[in-house]
Structure 1
Amino acid sequence: MSDLRLTCALLTSVGLCVAGPARADLLDDSHLTLGLRNFYVDRDFKQANAPKSRTGSWSQGFDLQFKSGYTDTPIQFGLDLGADFAYRLDGGKGRSPDGVLPVSTDGSPVKDYGRANLAVKLRYSKSELRIGDQRPNLPVVSYDPARQLVTRYEGAVLESREVKDLTLTAGRLWSITGRESSEREDLYLWGDTPAQASDGLDFAGATYAFTPQLSGSYFYAQLQDIYRQHYLGLVHKAALGGGFTLKTDVRYYNTREQGQALSGRVDNRTYGLMFSLSKNGHTLGAGYQRMLGLDTFPTFNNYAPAPFLINWSALGFVKPGERSWQLRYDYDFAAVGVPGLKWMARWMEGNDIDLGQQSHETERTSVLSYVVQSGLLKGFGANWMNIGVNVRESSRYEENRLALTYSVNFW
């Protein structure tokens, strides 16, 4: 509650201090956008002991966002605010929960749900402080755009680009709103309860481009009284001649319990390696990931994603002792004169899982997407994803997702 009062106080200060011409800059450089998302998901369980044969829903989402410009003052101020809302078009109790829509106390999906968001922006030179709504995409915390409404956080994040080729990031997050929720929650680990919640996530990191071909990142995060985490990543791109380019991606995490250890022991080290060879729209990739330590890689409540893991997917491949690998193929049809059309196919497999009988799991994924490049429907997107999962002695299912997206820019 104290964090919310701080945000309100800052908003009041901005309103009192900004002069007339500065207010004009706030509005003249502002943008109002309505994002539309029609989303269908169907999961067909194949194992004999499945609690339900199918889950899924069809829903329509709306994401209205106002982003202001900045005042013409030494320290520039701005304001972002908006709301997102989703309405269920189809799907009932017999097909819930589906990981998209919130569930009522009787087990049926809600008819609709939504959230409001607000953030104050302060900018000086090439540094910006944002207080309030956050959609981070960082190695130590990320939002999830893969369902209907996105995962949101509340907190304060500072990003600085004062030094050429160097980006510094630091912040504190104190709450999360999951992709299938309207309620803000404190942060705790997936699988735990709110009674084990932390006071917040503190983090800091740096990303530096050593050369145009080589960049590196280091981040430190501390989920208070739960864990502390180190992340190190390196990306290298090499031109091999003949039109071929090789991208090498190395990532490492080290996570241990911290403070009061509200979640108990946290013992996980993760390293991953990905090679991607590209030429003329084709990209062939191969990746390997290893979980070391006694525990699963930690993720936040609401199953917030960890997409900076090499083998993050619907399954996650994050279980104790797990060794996983992937083969991936991407094709960009712009190479044959169809810009906006892309296809990806991937096979992932994990084994040596230290959870009793659950020693092997596989996932195949195919994604076909298209974004209209010009004309009346410019920006209209269609994305179809097919996923097949097989976890030995546990679950087996086929899932299809279809998302149709479009943005209306009012100004």
Structure 2
Amino acid sequence: MFQSRSSLHVMKYASLLGLAFPWAVYADVIDDSHLSLTARNLYLNRNFTNKDPAFPKIGNWSQGFDLQFKSGYTDTPLAVGLDVDGQYAVRLDAHGNDGSLPYNPVTEKTANDYSRAGATLKMRYSKTELKVGDYKPFLPVASNDPSRQLDTIYQGAVLESREVENLTLTGGRFWSAVTRQSSDHEQFYRNGTLDSDDSMGLDFGGATYALRPNLEATYFYGVMHDIYRQHYAGVKHTGDLGAGYKLKTELGYFNNSEDGDARGGEVDNRSYSASMIVSHSGHQFGVAYERMLGETGYPNINGYIPQPFLPNFAGLGFWNAGERSWSVRYGYDFAAAGLPGLTLLTRYIKGTDIDRGQGLADGRESERDIWATYVVQSGPLQGLSFDFKNIHVQQQYGNDYDEFRLATSYTWRFW
């Protein structure tokens, strides 16, 4: 069953919408609405290859469903709408805790199934929109995690405004998140610390300005109260090199320090990163460099929520104290060879100079990824996708492993 607390939120938002406006203004709410159901089957198997591992292998096989209703807006000066979502996943097989499904460390058992549900009240005036409720962000201070069965979902209030040409302003507050292997919204705490060291919320604000059509700059500030403060500045540029070649360049900087009571300990981290990707006729070649400075590593949010604004984030974070990492990648879109729907990505990342603490030798780590995706382009199975990923990890002072993931997904769009 879906969580009763989330169901109450759905009814509460729906009641507010019904009281605020007469039925006549609902025409666009229904006419512009969309209902979809995505089914995702995920198989994951991780084999540890280092000597005498605690667990030779972990993994799972599961089936998930994601139901999404997105309404239109009322035909009023302050337009209002309501989105409703529900997710459910069932375990088909599992051995150990791989971070995909709810796991009880006491009983050492994976849950048979899990689910969540929620709603998002949305209001729009001119080019400014406010959303309150469930949210899947892609921001420097908070991001979604679609890497396993069910996504990470935040709950909060987000205001986004595009009233000024070429400028996007974003601000708000997240007060909880339901991570990829949970049914319940939890308050935020720093990954690797106790969940009793939690925060009352994550406040944030930022701006992205398009200096030119191919050049944009971003700044964001966030504070996870009593845990850490975070500044981010980044620049993205896309250039045409001629003869069909394009160059995409990104520069990024994070500055993290503790806030208030500093629950979870000291935070002293700064990171610099730069990446370049050259593309031509289906081919992509890229390189990236990343440097961690300060006494601590990057402050990750509970649930191992990823940080895609760090270019070397992968199966490993490459965000340890003092770490230097570089990566090289190659991708190919087979549409250029007459096979649309098939793509390939390979990447190698190397991290060195990991500060393991006073009196301990520095560490190093590496990861090699191969990712192939195929989406059926036509026929009765059009839209059916297949994703295959192989991750090979080596850590000087940690676990080495080979991991295989196979996911298939299909979305029914009812209207």
Letter in structure 2 aligned against 1:97: N
Cross-structure match for 2:103: 103
Cross-structure match for 1:379: 383
- After superposition, what is the alpha-carbon deviation per residue over 1:345-371, rounded to whole angstroms, capped at 9, x for unaligned? 000000000013451100000000011
- After superposition, what is the alpha-carbon deviation per residue over 1:198-254, rounded to whole angstroms, capped at 9, x for unaligned? 110000111111111211110000101111111001011121122211111101000
CA shift for structure 1 position 3: 12
Distance 2:127 2:296 in 1: 40
Cross-structure match for 1:400: 404
Letter in structure 2 aligned against 1:263: G
Q: Judging changes above 3 Å, is the alpha-carbon distance between structure 1 residues 52 and 6 closer, same or farther for their aligned structure 2 residues?
A: closer
Matching of residue 332 in structure 1 with residue 336 in structure 2? no
Cross-structure match for 1:346: 347
Cross-structure match for 2:65: 62
CA shift for structure 1 position 344: 0.3
Q: Secondary structure of the residue that 2:58 maps to in structure 1?
A: strand
Q: Secondary structure of the residue that 2:354 maps to in structure 1?
A: coil
Q: Judging changes above 3 Å, is the alpha-carbon distance between structure 1 residues 4 and 264 closer, same or farther for their aligned structure 2 residues?
A: farther
- After superposition, what is the alpha-carbon deviation per residue over 1:113-150, rounded to whole angstroms, capped at 9, x for unaligned? 11111110101111110000010011110010010000
Cross-structure match for 1:86: 89
Distance 2:385 2:27 in 1: 34
Answer whether contact 1:70 1:76 (CA < 8 A) is retained: yes
Fraction of identical pairs, as percent: 48
Answer whether contact 2:6 2:116 (CA < 8 A) is retained: no
Answer whether contact 2:9 2:119 (CA < 8 A) is retained: no
1:125-164 paired onto structure 2 within 5 Å: 125-164=126-165
Higher mean Cα deviation, 157-166 or 174-183?
157-166
CA shift for structure 1 position 13: 2.6
Letter in structure 2 aligned against 1:108: K
1:142-291 paired onto structure 2 within 5 Å: 142-291=143-292
Answer whether contact 2:10 2:118 (CA < 8 A) is retained: no
Answer whether contact 1:358 1:393 (CA < 8 A) is retained: no
Distance 1:357 1:144 in 2: 33
Distance 1:263 1:8 in 2: 36
- After superposition, what is the alpha-carbon deviation per residue over 1:318-376, rounded to whole angstroms, capped at 9, x for unaligned? 00000000000011111112121100000000000001345110000000001122221
Answer whether contact 1:358 1:394 (CA < 8 A) is retained: no
Distance 2:55 2:38 in 1: 33
Distance 1:63 1:160 in 2: 29
Distance 1:22 1:338 in 2: 47
TM-score (norm 2): 0.95
Cross-structure match for 2:365: 361
Q: In the comparison of the two structures, how many residue pairs are matched?
A: 407
Q: Secondary structure of the residue that 1:195 maps to in structure 2?
A: coil
Letter in structure 2 aligned against 1:98: D
Letter in structure 2 aligned against 1:56: G
Letter in structure 1 aligned against 2:40: R
Distance 1:20 1:125 in 2: 22
CA shift for structure 1 position 263: 2.1
Distance 1:3 1:73 in 2: 28
Letter in structure 2 aligned against 1:51: A
Distance 1:163 1:7 in 2: 33
Answer whether contact 1:206 1:217 (CA < 8 A) is retained: yes
Letter in structure 1 aligned against 2:97: P
Letter in structure 1 aligned against 2:44: V
Cross-structure match for 1:36: 39
Distance 2:206 2:10 in 1: 24
Q: Judging changes above 3 Å, is the alpha-carbon distance between structure 1 residues 6 and 36 closer, same or farther for their aligned structure 2 residues?
A: closer
Matching of residue 25 in structure 1 with residue 25 in structure 2? no
CA shift for structure 1 position 12: 2.9
Cross-structure match for 1:315: 316
Distance 1:5 1:357 in 2: 53
Higher mean Cα deviation, 356-365 or 179-188?
356-365
Letter in structure 1 aligned against 2:46: R
Counterpart pick for 2:16 among 13, 16, 19: 13
- After superposition, what is the alpha-carbon deviation per residue over 1:247-289, rounded to whole angstroms, capped at 9, x for unaligned? 1110100011111212221000001000111111111101100
Distance 2:241 2:182 in 1: 47
Q: Secondary structure of the residue that 2:348 maps to in structure 1?
A: strand
CA shift for structure 1 position 102: 0.7
Answer whether contact 1:276 1:284 (CA < 8 A) is retained: yes
CA shift for structure 1 position 410: 1.1
CA shift for structure 1 position 8: 6.7
TM-score (norm 1): 0.96
Q: Secondary structure of the residue that 1:73 maps to in structure 2?
A: coil
CA shift for structure 1 position 393: 2.6
Distance 2:37 2:18 in 1: 25
Q: Secondary structure of the residue that 2:400 maps to in structure 1?
A: strand
